[in-house]
């Protein structure tokens, strides 16, 4: 689903850059007695991430929050490009694409709120979950039917991979 009547070009996408809270999770934080803040991840998002990696797509995580449990979950999916506790997402994004010589036009970025907007404006396919903040929905070329933490990432990855016949 997209805000406009035309579908975005999914053929060019070679990498997925994802936020965590509100995208891979529903944005809920459970404050535990230990001080850790637990999150719930959707198993289907995990499957799609791992499947995309096996087909040669890059998966990059850029999140403003720093939680070891999040890192462990992502590493269990074989994601290696994990940037947590990031204040300036654009700086990390630019460093990453320059280091790996990636064209931003070949990247899908799924974000859900104001901290994601600058990077979303730079990529070929800005995307967001159905329940993203209005600012993120307004600039997205792909708006998932599902909310964050409930399969929105799977929906995006699957759409791209099916368009490229790699699913």
Task: Read off the pLDDT of residues 44-71 as tens digits, 9 standing for 90 and up.
Answer: 999 999 999 999 999 999 999 988 899 9
Average pLDDT taken over every residue of the chain: 94
Q: Which residues of the chain form beta strands (DSSP E)? A: 15-18, 30-31, 37-38, 58-62, 81-83, 107-110, 125-128, 142-143
pLDDT for 3 beyond 80: no
pLDDT for 7 beyond 70: no
Structure tokens at 125: 């396919």
Task: Read off the pLDDT of residues 89-127 as tens digits, 9 standing for 90 and up.
Answer: 999 999 999 999 999 999 999 999 999 999 999 999 999
Q: For the whole model, what pTM was predicted?
A: 0.93
Higher pLDDT: 84 or 67? It is 84
Angle, CA 136 vertex, CA 131 and CA 139 arms, to 5°:
130
Q: What is the residue extent of each domain of the chain?
A: 15-163
Tell me: domain 15-163, CATH 3.40.50.1000, correct?
yes
Side by side, the strands of the sheet bearing 107-110 are 81-83, 58-62, 15-18, 107-110, 125-128, 142-143
Q: Which residues of 113-158 form beta strands (DSSP E)? A: 125-128, 142-143
């Amino acid at each position: 689903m997209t805000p406009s009547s035309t579908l975005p070009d999914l053929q060019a996408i070679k990498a997925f850059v994802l936020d965590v809270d509100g995208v891979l999770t529903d944005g809920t934080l459970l404050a535990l007695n230990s001080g850790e803040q637990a999150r719930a991840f959707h198993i289907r998002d995990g499957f799609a991430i791992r499947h995309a990696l096996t087909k040669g797509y890059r998966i990059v995580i850029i999140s403003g929050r720093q939680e070891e449990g999040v890192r462990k979950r992502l590493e269990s999916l074989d994601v290696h490009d994990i940037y947590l506790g990031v204040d300036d997402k654009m700086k990390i994004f630019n460093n990453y694409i320059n280091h790996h010589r990636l064209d931003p036009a070949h990247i899908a970025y799924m974000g859900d709120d104001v901290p994601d907007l600058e990077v979303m404006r730079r990529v070929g396919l800005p995307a967001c979950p159905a329940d993203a903040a209005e600012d993120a929905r307004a600039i997205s070329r792909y708006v998932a039917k599902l909310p964050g933490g409930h399969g929105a990432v799977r929906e995006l990855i699957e759409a791209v991979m099916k368009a490229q016949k790699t699913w």
